[in-house]
Amino acid sequence: MVTDKHYAALDQVLELAVLINDDMTRSLAQDGLTVSRTHLLWELRRRGPSTQRDLADALKVSARTVTGLVDGLEATGFVTRQPHPTDRRATLVTFTERGVRTVEEMERGQQEFARLLFAEMPEERLDCFSEALGEILIRLREASRLTDPRGGDQ
């Protein structure tokens, strides 16, 4: 049975999602980025120089979508396309100096944001929060898989 307490908790989760999304969107816009382009940059940071096909697979989007993202990031100076060293038909997406600096700044921003949110929270309370949030994420991911017509992992 769903109670007022459940609705109040849901309201807090939704408000948190809105606040984080608004903050992220504003912050990224200062660098001329979108959430989708930033997701590609994070994946490139994690993987290193990558083919567009590999990036499309990692982001779970079409090759056409990645081409548009890379085109935009290349036009604004965040990435470049380089010849693949062993496959003449392929190119590697790599960071420019601006791209490296931007991702490093975002990493520092994440550290600051984590400090702001959690540094003064007692460890036991942070553990409980993290565990509860983990449960919520598992439920949301499972619900998403059940309603995704493609059926695969999100």
pLDDT of residue 114: 95
Tell the CATH topology of 32-115. Answer: Arc Repressor Mutant, subunit A (1.10.10)
Cα–Cα distance for residue pair 47/101, rounded to 1 Å: 17
**What are the residues facing 14 on neighbouring strands?**
none
Q: What is the largest CA-CA distance in the chain?
A: 61
pLDDT of residue 149: 60
pLDDT of residue 80: 97
Which stretches of the chain drop beneath a pLDDT of 70? 148-154
pLDDT of residue 150: 55
Question: Is-contact 73 79, C-beta < 8 A?
Answer: yes
Q: In the chain, how many H helices and how many E strands?
A: 6, 2
pLDDT of residue 145: 81
pTM: 0.78
